[in-house]
Amino acid sequence: MRTLLIVYHTMTGGTMQMARSAAAGASADGTVAVQLFHAREAGPQDVLDADGYIFATPENLAAISGQMKDFFDRSYYPVLDRINGRPYATLVCAGSDGANAARQIDRIATGWRLRRIAPPLIVCTHAQTTEAILRPKQIAMEDLRRCGELGAAMAAGLAMGIF
């Protein structure tokens, strides 16, 4: 059975909802094992053991979160040149546009020589004040559906050997 690793970080719950929806979509038909880990719990062996990846991060100061950066820092060199060609996708929970966070993950994935299977899925909460930024998030059902569809597409591609 092929394995999909979903690594996420969240501070206000939005990214966690997105990652869980992707995991639910990916595991719906039971053809792919799904590993869902908070960034502080995931490491190089998890990356090596997986056949594909979904990286889910909040946008913090126009970048990936510090804990996602820490995950990549801890995992980057131990897996370099050992995961070439594997598929990945990105989820970003953003307060403004999320493009820089997505671009940062793309640059890391390029170094790992991963293959992006879909454009970054960015959900913009439009949180711009301190109170709105720190408030727990509730991601809209339509956006969660899109996350689930991305997870299902990744799982189907892994199961069929497309990715």
Residues contacting 36, CB < 8 A, separation 6+: 6, 8, 19, 20, 23
Q: What is the pLDDT of residue 15?
A: 98
pTM as predicted: 0.97
- CATH number for position 61: 3.40.50.360
The tally of domains found in the chain comes to 1
Cα 159 to chain centroid, rounded: 19
Question: Dihedral sign, CA of 153, 58, 33, 74?
Answer: positive
The span from the CA of 91 to the CA of 104, in Å, is 12
Q: What is the pLDDT of residue 148?
A: 98
Q: What is the pLDDT of residue 47?
A: 98
The span from the CA of 124 to the CA of 31, in Å, is 31
Residue-number span of the structural domain to which 81 is assigned: 2-160
The span from the CA of 96 to the CA of 5, in Å, is 27
Q: What is the pLDDT of residues 13-28, one digit of tens each?
A: 999 999 999 999 999 9
Share of the chain above pLDDT 90, in %: 97
User: What pLDDT band is residue 156 in, cutting at 50, 70 and 90?
Assistant: very high
CA gyration radius, the chain: 15
Among residues 39, 36, 45, 41, the alpha carbon closest in space to that of 4 is found at 36
Q: What is the pLDDT of residues 52-102, one digit of tens each?
A: 999 999 999 999 999 999 999 999 999 999 999 999 999 999 998 999 999
Looking at residue 163, its amino acid is F
